[in-house]
A and B are shown apart, each in its own frame.
Chain A
Amino acid sequence: MNLNSAIESASPPRNNRAADRRQFLKQAALAAATGVAARRAQAVPLPIVQSPDTETDEAGVTWQKAPCRFCGTGCHVRVGTLDGRVVAIQGDQAAEVNKGLLCVKGYHVGAALYGKDRLTHPMRRQGRFLGAYHVGGSHRHHRAADHGGTGAIRHLRLRSVDHPGGICGPKIHEGWLVQ
C-alpha cells in the first residue's frame, strides 16, 4: 500500500472517536516517517520548514514543541495532547539537532508522566528507601536549606519548573530532595 492509498483507506468511521483517533495517529505516524525518509534520502538537504509552536490536527490532537529533558543534547520534541493527556510523541523535523528523530528515552517523555511509580512530590530518604511521607511546600525548602542549598533554592524560586528551558529546575529538585 502506498502513501496515498494508505491515507484514503484510513478514512475513519464516523461517530467512533477512538477509531478516528487511531486511524489519524496511524496517518500521522506514516507522515512523520515519510518526512524523515525524504529528508534523510536527500543528498542536498531539503529547505527547513519551521514547524508551528502549536497546532491542532483534525483528530483534535494538539501538537506543541518542547525540549527533551532526559539529556543535554537538547532534541526538539513534538508532543501531541488530547483532553489534557499526552497521546503521541515525535521528533521535530525542523530541528537541526535531531532532524525528526529521538532516542528511546526521548520517545518516552510523554509516557514517563504517567508511570505508576513516578514521584509526584518531593520525598525524603529514610534508611535505604524513600520515606513514606512527602515533604511539601516551604518545608522542603527548609530541608534543602539545612543542607546548604540556599543558592539552589533561590534558583528554583526564580526560574521554577515552568521555565521554557525547564531542565535545571527539576534536576536540581531531584538532586536535592531525592538523594
Chain B
Amino acid sequence: MPISGLVLTIDHEQPDSLRQVVAALAERPEVTVGESFGCKLAIATDTERAEVDRGLRAWIEALPQVVHVDVTFIAFDSDMEVAR
C-alpha cells in the first residue's frame, strides 16, 4: 500500500500547463490532486503495490509539463504487514 505525497514543479513557461497537468492526473484514480502554489502542485498517490507506484511516478515525470517531482511523504503500512 504505497501512499505518497508529491510536489510537482510545473513548467510555467508552457501556456496552460497547470490545467493540462491537472486534467491528465484526473484520469488516474490513484491520484488525489491538491492545491497549487505558483508552479508547485501538491498531489497524493495511493497504489496497491510498489511496482505500480513506481510506474505511476514514472508516468507523472514523463508528462511534458512536469519538470520535477519531489517526494514529501511515504507510507508503507501494508508492505510491512507482509513481512511480519
Chain A residues in the interface with B (C-beta under 8 A): 1-3, 6, 21-22, 25-38, 40-42, 80, 82, 85-91, 100-102, 104, 107, 110-111, 114, 116
In the complex, residue of chain B having the shortest beta-carbon distance to the beta carbon of A100: B72
CB distance from B82 to the nearest CB of A (A): 10
How distant is the Cα of A80 from the Cα of B3 in the complex, in angstroms? 13
Q: Are A29's CB and B73's CB within 8 A? A: yes
Contacts of B56 in A (CB 8 A): none
Q: Which of B24-57 contact A (CB under 8 A)?
A: 26, 32-46
In the complex, residue of chain A having the shortest beta-carbon distance to the beta carbon of B38: A41
Chain B residues in the interface with A (C-beta under 8 A): 1, 3-7, 26, 32-46, 70-77, 79-80, 83
Contacts of B46 in A (CB 8 A): 22, 26
Q: Are A2's CB and B73's CB within 8 A? A: no
Q: Are A110's CB and B34's CB within 8 A? A: no
| 9 closest cross-chain pairs (CB), A and B | A41-B37, A29-B5, A33-B42, A33-B5, A37-B40, A88-B75, A32-B73, A41-B38, A30-B44
How distant is the Cα of A3 from the Cα of B33 in the complex, in angstroms? 7
In the complex, residue of chain B having the shortest beta-carbon distance to the beta carbon of A82: B77
How distant is the Cα of A101 from the Cα of B70 in the complex, in angstroms? 8
Contacts of B32 in A (CB 8 A): 1, 6, 26, 30
In the complex, residue of chain A having the shortest beta-carbon distance to the beta carbon of B77: A87
Q: Are B34's CB and A88's CB within 8 A? A: no
Q: Are B35's CB and A21's CB within 8 A? A: no
Q: Are B77's CB and A102's CB within 8 A? A: no
Contacts of B40 in A (CB 8 A): 36-38, 40-41
